[in-house]
Amino acid sequence: MTILKMWRALFNRQQLDTLIFFITDRCNSRCRSCFYWQNLNQHSDLSLDKINKMATSLPRFTSLLISGGEPSLRDDLPEIINAFSKHSSISFVSIPTNGLLTDKVVMLVKKICSTNTQLVVTISVSIDGFEKTSEDIRGIPGGWARSITTLKKLLALKKNFSNLRVAVNTLVCRETLDTLTEFSDYLIKNYSLDAHNLEIIRGDARDPSLKEFGPRELQKIFDLEKKIHLHYFKKNFKSPNTLRRIYHLAIYLLSLVVMKTQRRLLLKKQPWLFDCLAGRTIMVVDSRGYLKACELRPAAVDLFHYDYNITKAQNSEDFKAEIETIKKTPCPCTHGCFINSSVRHEPLGLIKTLLLR
């Protein structure tokens, strides 16, 4: 990756830099924390043909964030990524997985990494703590061991693919709070991860009681998160490759901005120090083929009416009206992807946020 491409990836001002795409509504897990639970297993996934139309309609952008459902349930996951890699010249793809289908996940990741050597591929296995905690939340007996096996096999794959990053995503909710520190230490001691992301529970969870925790617990989480980010930054910054070191520094600074923005909002009830660019630099396509400016808002445009041409749908009156609503009535949330994408386009907001204590 050239310096120019990295600069574009991290600070470019082109309209779209990140697309969140819910490629499937199918899921083999039963998480009580799921915010997408009302849409799951409706069998409404878009065909590869429609996805190809979407990819060809978009200008070049930077990051594709795959979501779902469980992405590995789509056999054509590599072809979906190929479509965006070929037509939209993406530089980064991020794929979450619950890790329940070890062999399938490993096979898909091998295929994606080998056919897209120019892409930085991040696969994040969702593990919410030790066995009992994780299985109580995710609802699959024996699921923890399967996810851990997947994690080990993915880490082993890194020897063959220099473009592969392997991370763990851990949910922050009422039932994971007590074991978060111990679990993050366990991951550091036992696995050579690229990142460990703490994700504060969001949206309309299937079990709303998981969202019941207060400011004291939150402060502890942010203290822990700061240590985790620093640990993985120091580890990754040892890379002999200068460009990679710059990339890791940028990732670290952005993770601090996300954390500080969330802390300011949740603990002090103060808004972001920059505009939310939902619908402009970051957009969402859900598994039914609806284009949304924001993952957390209901307004959506049916891509069917635009023959799956995202650019045309983006220019529709309905979509423009949604962006205007977001501009006029700020609705600050803790969504890391939207904070990250928005702040990259406002250097002043980025600096001000970094300077927050």
> Residues in the site for ligand SF4, rule: CB under 6 A?
27, 29, 31, 34, 36, 68-70, 98, 276, 278, 294, 296-297, 326, 331-333, 335, 338
Nearer to ligand SF4, 106 or 326 (CB): 326
In whole angstroms, the minimum distance from the beta carbon of 52 to ligand SF4 comes to: 24
Q: Minimal distance in Å, beta carbon 242 to ligand SF4?
A: 34
Shortest spacing between CB 340 and ligand SF4, in angstroms: 11
- For ligand SF4, the closer CB: 331 or 348: 331
Minimum distance from CB of 24 to ligand SF4 (Å)? 9
Q: 293: which residues sit within 8 A by CB, 6+ positions away?
A: 278, 279, 280, 283, 284, 299, 319, 322, 323, 326
Report the residue number, 29 or 122, with the smaller CB distance to ligand SF4.
29
Cα 125 to Cα 43: distance, rounded to the nearest angstrom: 24
Is 68:37 a contact under the CB 8 Å cutoff?
no
Quote the least distance from Cβ 68 to ligand SF4, whole Å: 5
Give backbone dihedrals phi and psi of 95, rounded to 5 degrees, phi first: -125, 120
Contact between 134 and 105 (Cβ < 8 Å): no
Looking at beta carbons only, is 79 or 332 nearer to ligand SF4? Answer: 332
Q: Which is nearer to ligand SF4, 85 or 172 (CB)?
A: 172
Residue keyed to tokens 């998160």:
225
Closest Cα to residue 199, out of 297, 300, 339, 63? Answer: 339
Cα(107)–Cα(72) distance, rounded to whole angstroms?
10
Q: Determine the Cα–Cα distance for residues 312 and 298; give it in Å rounded to an integer.
A: 20
